[in-house]
Chain A
């Protein structure tokens, strides 16, 4: 399955954070979502074969990387209080008419 680390972390406003995800074996696409408290997940961006393949309405201080070994990262610079949320990683296999996405358990980020 999809795994994410760390489970929880606390950062201070202005700091930088890196969240990690390990995709399901064989999947070539990873998507990241932000889920604020009491809301549905919001699409941040997607990576396909190590290239960004679409971005939602998030500023450039949200960036990502995808590696050949089924792992990926979400980096957030200059953290703001509103960045406090559950960050979900989802992996999928591109090639069909839709992407069936498999979600990890998430990383809970708290910015103080």
Chain B
């Protein structure tokens, strides 16, 4: 069965600093991987996805993630944090038409 593990339930960065949110996956087949963002009292918004092809994936709001098969990782990065990036972020793997989510990482951006 596919699963994902998000390292760090809370990450705090200063505005303008690098954002790095970690996700490791476990999958017996080539995975389809996703990052979602959830703002308070809202649903999930897709940031980016990896399906096949290029391992560096660019998403919305300046985020990107790199699929590293050798490390079974799919970490999310953004070069410069903005106050509006404060939210909860979920890594997910497609488990045969359903998504299996990690526990989430709460990102705080300090002025």
**A interface vs B, CB < 8 Å?**
2, 4, 29, 31, 33, 38-43, 46, 53-54, 56, 88, 90, 92, 94, 97-106, 108
**4 residue pairs, one from A and one from B, having the closest CB atoms:** A40-B101, A98-B32, A103-B44, A103-B43
Contacts of B99 in A (CB 8 A): 31, 33, 41, 43, 90, 101
Q: Contact at A46–B97, with CB atoms within 8 Å?
A: yes
Contact of A43 among B51, B100, B103 (CB under 8 A): B100
Q: Contact at A41–B51, with CB atoms within 8 Å?
A: no
Q: Contact at B97–A39, with CB atoms within 8 Å?
A: no
Q: How many residues of B contact A (CB 8 A)?
A: 23
Question: What are 28 A-B contacts with C-beta separation under 8 Å?
Answer: A2-B43, A29-B97, A39-B104, A40-B101, A40-B103, A41-B44, A41-B90, A41-B101, A42-B101, A43-B95, A43-B99, A46-B98, A53-B97, A54-B97, A54-B98, A56-B98, A88-B44, A90-B99, A92-B97, A97-B32, A97-B51, A99-B97, A103-B43, A103-B44, A104-B43, A105-B43, A106-B43, A108-B41
B84 at the interface (CB under 8 A from A): no
Closest to B32 in A: A98
B42 at the interface (CB under 8 A from A): yes
Give the complex CA separation of A29 and B98 in angstroms.
11
Q: Contact at B90–A40, with CB atoms within 8 Å?
A: yes
